[in-house]
Amino acid sequence: TFVVESFIDELAAHAGVDPVKYRLDLLGNAPRAANVLQVATREARWGSPLPKGKGRGVSVMHAFGSYLGVVAEVTVEGGEVKVDRVVCAVDCGMAVNPRTIEAQIQGGVVFGITGALYSEITIKDGRVEQSNFTDYRVLRLNETPEIVVHIVKSGEAPGGIGEPGTSALAPALTNAIFAATGKRIRKLPVGEQLKTA
């Protein structure tokens, strides 16, 4: 999802087309994907102006029988990224337990932000250097953004809900960084890449 949705964003920028419109034009034969994209972008107020140093990015994915649209809003200052808000729309088929779906997506988003911004396993002398959360950076509670989840009503068979929130977050976040800074992120975690720009 990171590679595909990042590349689609690059194509939209190269074509001079809004990234949401560009995706919608490609999703003519995928109404569920188009719908979650439209719900997420509408609820995130896509297109409304943002101050300098802020940006919104988008991604849409289909995996495990579920569809997810994500909009991430970030602030980039001094090479540091702060995720301000994440809006998700999910069509996972029939929602058996909506509160569990919301919690799974929120947890997946937190894990996705952690992976996109910080988490890296490094090897030295044939051994993993990280041993625990003391040297493996994770998102802290005070860094966690507002995460809004919209469950799209659907009569389709239930799909998976554990992984989509994590997978769809990274490209939305890096596309938001591009919107804020003009710098493309093609490698995760983001880490020091913005400081060397």
How confident is the model over 40-88, as pLDDT tens digits?
Answer: 999 999 999 999 999 999 999 999 999 999 999 999 998 899 999 999 9
pLDDT of 197 above 70: no
pLDDT of 194 above 90: no
The pTM (predicted TM-score) of the whole model is 0.94
Interatomic CA distance for residues 69 and 161, integer angstroms: 13
- Confidence band, pLDDT 50/70/90 cuts, at residue 166: very high
Interatomic CA distance for residues 4 and 117, integer angstroms: 19
> Exposed, middle or buried, 64 (CB in 10 Å: 0-12/13-18/19+)?
middle
Mean residue pLDDT of the chain comes to: 95
**Can you give the pLDDT at residue 193?**
80
pLDDT of 192 above 80: no
175: its two tokens:
């596309």
**Segment 189-195 mean pLDDT:** 82
**Can you give the pLDDT at residue 83?**
98
Give all strands of the β-sheet with 80-91 in edge-to-edge order. 54-63, 66-77, 80-91, 146-151
Interatomic CA distance for residues 112 and 169, integer angstroms: 6
- Confidence band, pLDDT 50/70/90 cuts, at residue 181: very high
- Confidence band, pLDDT 50/70/90 cuts, at residue 184: very high
**Can you give the pLDDT at residue 196?**
61
